[in-house]
Chains A and B, each alone.
Chain A
């Protein structure tokens, strides 16, 4: 069986800084894979390379076994929907107009605004619980609403592979859980970067932990996000506890105590900014 998405030794540099070093990752059809790691570890860059909008300096990305860089951009956008971190939007743009951008790869650039598009837009907005916001200007939305509208734009793209860069940012607890539930329901292949390790553990079939541009082998959340790994990568102490109702394992975080006997090596503190 060919994997849906596969990265082989992906290396990428932004300016003079090497952001990704030989990242390997495979994502199966219908799988939900989370990318976690500290700020500046290369999550956004990895997602952009895997979505085909940024060319790797070395290595290759295969989509359904085909080299991604040989797909025409338009075809690629029909197969992969990338919802990146926020860009400043024109303030007079309306929610419906923004979501309709998701239809751009599916129609010639001079068409649009027809009934089919309207239906796709409303369906995508309904799935993020914002159907009645279709005529609102985007600059009147709250941060969380903007995130959900951007996700709706990605959904309207109706691509079999959805790549989401921190989709739960700015969302309240209810909408965080609703979004992850929605992703589950979609039945599509989803690759998403997340900051909240517990959310990632609950939502993803597998997670991959990025540290200074190097990806550790992906695996089940419980294996990858072990207290040792979390301490090494994030520099915090993680204590696993069992949720009394669901039985799931959650991590509790505390600042790392100074001289800790089991501390095998001292990781560099991750203080750099996320690349934009």
Chain B
């Protein structure tokens, strides 16, 4: 019998990998920078001696590294971690290994919101699109919640069906808005929200996802024992004294906010929330107090490199993140699911 790796060891290795990835990935892009330049800029910025040690030629590097690449890497880490956490949690909520963070219809809701902002011109300013997307995501989540609840409760099957069906309806609405609109940005925008990108990363875009992912991730971790019980089944959870109905509602709200914010800043990025929880379970077993932190850090590392691939694959054009995650993710997922002893979905 294969023994599980020790969680602290796995976490330490992943954390080291994350730091290394953050430093290395910052050098990649349309302009290739050696790690020494990256370190130099970071050192200058972090020690407060801004620009003083850098020559005029390096000022451009400074802008690239500090204003573009570093916030982008940090955003990739936050979004990757958030998606992995949401994926792990939603797979438990609906007791389905094929569930991903967008199951609740949030991503198509976000694209409706964003397209509505573009085509109607309501809301102004640089944040208009993100706000529209966030509103669309939250409205769709509330609708899914209300319909599922009205039809008998947030049971796994009902959530999956309601989310899928309403998600398709929102997609249709978004397509209709694009079709009606003469604005080419509408189509572009839908593409962004359906395929994901970190191209809009900037320092002022970081706080919102950061203050969403960190506390909600911590909340999920705090509830990990209850999540374990819920994963074993609602009857078992009830017998163990878990308030199943209340827990499901809290989880739904957590995922709606978490995924809504992530979609608003980065669009929907496929496969991250689907695969990383499985990878974490393979490494450290099924208990949430181990799975959640491992999935989060692994998700951060994964998305950092996915974004690097998106930046350099077809230089100088950037490709959408879901294109990269799909190409990497599909075979990895099939490989994982094909392993004989890995059968999250139950008996063959």
Contact = CB atoms under 8 A, between A and B. Distances in A.
B343 A77 contact: no
A104 B240 contact: yes
A240 B234 CA distance: 42
Contacts of A72: 241
Contacts of A91: 342-347
Contact of B232 (A74, A75, A89): A89
A213 B3 CA distance: 48
A137 B341 contact: yes
A112 B287 contact: yes
Contacts of A84: 235-236, 239
Interface size of A as a range = 35 or more
A92 B281 contact: yes
B243 interface: yes
A157 B236 CA distance: 12
B208 interface: no
B228 A101 contact: yes
A94 B229 CA distance: 13
Nearest to A87: B233
Contacts of B243: 73
Nearest to A54: B238
A32 B322 CA distance: 59
B267 to A, nearest CB: 30
Given A104-B228, A105-B241, A111-B225, A135 B1 contact: yes
A114 to B, nearest CB: 11
A108 B225 contact: yes
A81 interface: yes
B225 A110 contact: yes
Contacts of A98: 232
Nearest to B1: A135
Contacts of A82: 239
B345 to A, nearest CB: 6
B241 A139 contact: no
B50 to A, nearest CB: 41
A85 B240 CA distance: 14
B145 interface: no
Contact of A51 (B239, B282, B346, B347): B239
A52 to B, nearest CB: 9
Contact of B239 (A75, A81, A111): A81
Given A91-B344, A112-B289, A77 B235 contact: no
B234 to A, nearest CB: 8
A164 B235 CA distance: 13
A109 B1 contact: no
B346 A109 contact: no
A135 B226 CA distance: 21
Contacts of B341: 137, 140
B311 interface: no
B225 A107 contact: yes
B343 A104 contact: no
B221 A110 contact: yes
- Kindly name the residue among B4, B97, B226, B240 whose own CB sees the greatest number of chain A CB atoms within 10 A: B240
Interface string A75-97: 11110011110011111111001
A74 B229 contact: no
B241 A92 contact: no
Given A77-B239, A101-B228, A139 B285 contact: no
Nearest to B225: A109
A75 B221 CA distance: 22
B228 A88 contact: no
Contacts of B239: 51, 53, 77, 81-84
Contacts of A87: 232-236
A244 interface: no
Interface in B74-102: 95, 97
A136 interface: yes
B223 interface: yes
A19 to B, nearest CB: 16
The 6 A-B pairs with the shortest beta carbon distances in the complex, nearest first, are A77-B241, A87-B233, A109-B225, A91-B343, A82-B239, A74-B241
